[in-house]
Amino acid sequence: MVGNKTWFGGLFNSSGKRRQVSAEKLVLDLTPLQEQRLQKLKERLNVPYDETRPEHQESLRALWNASFPHYRKPYLPDTELNSLVSAQWKDMGWQGVNPATDFRGCGFISLENLLFFATTYPAPFKRLMLKQQGMRAVWEYPFAVAGINISYMLIQMLELNSARPKSLPGINFIKVLTDHEDAFDVLYCISFEMMDAQWLAMRASYRICSSK
């Protein structure tokens, strides 16, 4: 598993009255470093994906190049991206030919999360994207779209859109953020691996999940 898997479990460790006291204290008394890093993360959340911005286009190309480097051609014969709007994107698990339409649900940070995973932990990223582990279902979940959903899920779970997190996971996440500025991105990678492991354990099928 990528990163430090104890981070994820540590987000939930506490109980009873002690949990409530810790929550109230942290909500009211963030350190300057916590304030700075939380604000920086919140600013990332407010950036929509804009397909007309050159830096966003370059990030999308970088994701493709990290996912399908040319020396990996045995996996996919056609690995050179022809256009930012192309049917090739479906090979990565996008819903259509233009990933920009999928980013609308979570913004630019969901692309940053995928790119961080692909460049920081390339082996686990490719193992999940190419479905190389375990007995895979005939109908697999779409990899890239699942990544966007994980970004969204983490934002909600950690209450990052609120003025101050009040739930235990959100409060403990700020503590982790104090020591690790890239904690959200690493937590994203851990969550993706855990989701995939759960998918395999349940022998899930995207066709069945989609019909519910």
pLDDT at 16: 42
Q: Is residue 27 part of a domain?
A: yes
User: Would you say 94 and 144 are in contact if contact means Cβ atoms under 8 Å apart?
Assistant: yes
Q: Is residue 40 part of a domain?
A: yes
pLDDT at 167: 82
pLDDT at 119: 96
Q: Is residue 98 part of a domain?
A: yes
Residue pLDDT, tens place only, 157-185? 999 988 888 888 888 898 888 888 999 99
Provide DSSP, 161-209.
Answer: TSSS--SHHHHHHHHHHHH-TTHHHHHHHHHHHHHHHHHHHHT--HHHH
User: Would you say 125 and 118 are in contact if contact means Cβ atoms under 8 Å apart?
Assistant: yes
CA distance 156 to 197: 22
Report the predicted TM-score, pTM, of the whole model to 2 decimal places: 0.82
pLDDT at 212: 46
Residue pLDDT, tens place only, 75-87? 454 578 889 999 9
User: Would you say 164 and 23 are in contact if contact means Cβ atoms under 8 Å apart?
Assistant: no
For the chain, list residues with pLDDT below 50: 15-21, 23, 26, 28, 71-73, 75, 77, 208-212
Q: Is residue 1 part of a domain?
A: no
User: Would you say 149 and 83 are in contact if contact means Cβ atoms under 8 Å apart?
Assistant: no
Q: Is residue 134 part of a domain?
A: yes
pLDDT at 117: 97
Total domain count, the chain: 1
CA distance 89 to 84: 8
In terms of residue numbers, what domain contains 147?
Answer: 6-211
Q: Is residue 124 part of a domain?
A: yes
pLDDT at 152: 95
